[in-house]
Amino acid sequence: MHDRKEWRGLHTGRVQFLYEDSDLIVVDKPAGLAVIAPEGSRTKALYDIVTLHIQKTNPHGRAAVVHRLDRDTSGVMLFAKHARAKKALMDNWNKLVRRRCYTALVEGSMPSEAGTLDSWLMENRAGHVYEAKPGTRGALRAVTHWKTLAAPEGLSYSLLELELETGRKHQIRAQLAAVGHPVAGDVRYGARTDPAGRLCLHAHLIEFEHPFTHRVLVFESPVPKVFQQVLDLQGRKPRGGQ
């Protein structure tokens, strides 16, 4: 099912096309590539790359965005190939999308092996998302389930798997920051370190029901090796601040 094709451009990394049919495209997005280019920018975004791919067989075709990843987040992302598919996905997103899972390298260690982050999030005028009191006007409930994959004793970082129950803007980043364990490299949300030279957040799995065939499809992207390399490097550092 995973027919991998690559597109190389001016951005960092590569875009891999994991799956395509007459309605949908699934890609593996590199970190540092915006989904849609900022207004006035001439730099190609992921949307442009997917559109160019579609136009190889349909000169008038265009990609349709149905969900987003932050520019500095890598991993699996789904596009519709036409308006009918976009509407079918967006109108039934919560029913069709069964799982969205991320891997994050975070600062410090979580208080237990697993748990749920359940909070209310708001966005200010600068686009920063923060926690608010439950029921605050304009706030949206956000629920993220997490478990620890690796938390070597005495190290500065932990590796987490996170599964979204809701899909709010900057949900994982804001919730982890609020509990004092921001994603490594996420200066915007209070990270004090940047061990990998990137935001250490990766969308590693999406599982959804095809809106027309109703077949359940699962796509995965390998967790970036640099996440584990950071843990390994920390583990080799001598104790005592040397």
Catalytic positions are 70
Alpha-carbon gap, residue 72 to 188, rounded angstroms: 12
d(CA 158, CA 105): 6
Percentage of residues in the chain with pLDDT exceeding 90?
82
Per-residue pLDDT reduced to its tens digit, 172-183: 999 999 999 999
CA dist 169 and 192 (Å) reads 22
Q: Do residues 98 and 205 lie in contact, with contact meaning Cβ atoms separated by under 8 Å?
A: no
For the stretch 110-157, pLDDT in tens is 999 999 999 999 999 899 999 999 989 999 999 999 999 998 877 799
Domains of the chain are 1-91 (3.30.2350.10), 94-206 (3.30.2350.10)
CA-to-CA separations, 174 to 23, 115, 121, 142, 217, in angstroms, rounded? 33, 16, 8, 10, 29
Do the bridges between strand 24-29 and strand 74-80 make them parallel or antiparallel, or are there none, so unpaired?
antiparallel
162-215 residue pLDDT tens? 999 999 999 999 999 999 999 999 999 999 999 999 999 999 999 999 999 999
Q: What is the pLDDT of residue 41?
A: 79
Q: What phi, psi does 176 have (nearest 5°)?
A: -65, -40
pTM of the entire structure? 0.89
